[in-house]
Amino acid sequence: MSSILEYVNKNQRKKYDFLKYSLKIDKNTKLRKIKFNLHPNNIKELKYIINDRLSVNFKKIDLNDIDITKIRDLSGLFEDYVFLESINISDWDTSEVESLENMFHGCTSLTEVKITPWNVKNVKNMQGMFSCCSSLKEVNLSSFDTHNLTNTSYMFNKCTSLKSIGDISSWYTQNITNMSHMFCNCKNLKTLGNTSKWSFKNIKYLMNMFSGCTHLENVYCEKWNITDITILKEMFAGCSSLQKLPSWYDPKKEEEKY
């Protein structure tokens, strides 16, 4: 056991002074196994670990051995990691996280993101979370608890390959104030599913929400409770495949406001 501790001290703690380990008994072999767990105290330490992993394999990483329970803000964590193609962080405990702003922004090579089943009950800000992830075709956000969410602006902006984000029909939207540019230039997105039950109490900005979605065929939004104070400018601009606009949307009227 002393040799193991010596190894840990010499080879690991030089890098990670927040490294912890635990002994477990393998059920099949009955042998003791050491499991190393990383417990960063802040986003700076977390990024240090990530960058160290990427120095070994900068295209595909699994970070599920990291405990992030002390971190409340994951903003910009993987921003502009242009060579990253696949990431697995599905086991992360995000129940105390409040911001995911620009978390994957600019990951232009990213094709696979495993984040299901994240607990995002306390997240307020998802602005630009996947913006400019131009290679991403699908990500499953159907299990997201969005009761505290207030900002989804630019969330998928310029995700030009995006085709599916899962079933988001049950998203709670009453606290959201800003959805502007949320799906702007998602050229391959055809539908969001049935979002007719989305309800808004505080929404202020929906401008350019779907602008540039040239393949978008249906948006179930006729029953959305949109008020006169909501800014809708160019909400559906360039949606050349859209079969029908909601009755509450008048492009000419919106232009007159500016």
Residue extents of the structural domains in the chain: 63-258
The two tokens of residue 190 are 């055809």
CA distance 99 to 149: 9
Matching residue, tokens 């989305």: 198
**Into which CATH architecture does domain 63-258 fall?**
Alpha-Beta Horseshoe (3.80)
pLDDT, tens digit only, all 258 positions of the chain? 333 334 334 444 445 555 554 445 556 655 555 455 689 999 999 999 999 999 999 999 999 999 999 999 999 999 999 999 999 999 999 999 999 999 999 999 999 999 989 999 999 999 999 999 999 999 999 999 999 999 999 999 999 999 999 999 999 999 999 999 999 999 999 999 899 999 998 999 999 999 999 999 999 999 998 887 899 999 999 999 999 999 999 887 766 555
DSSP letters for 46-61: HHHHHHHHHTT-SSEE
Contact 234, 225 (CB under 8 A): no
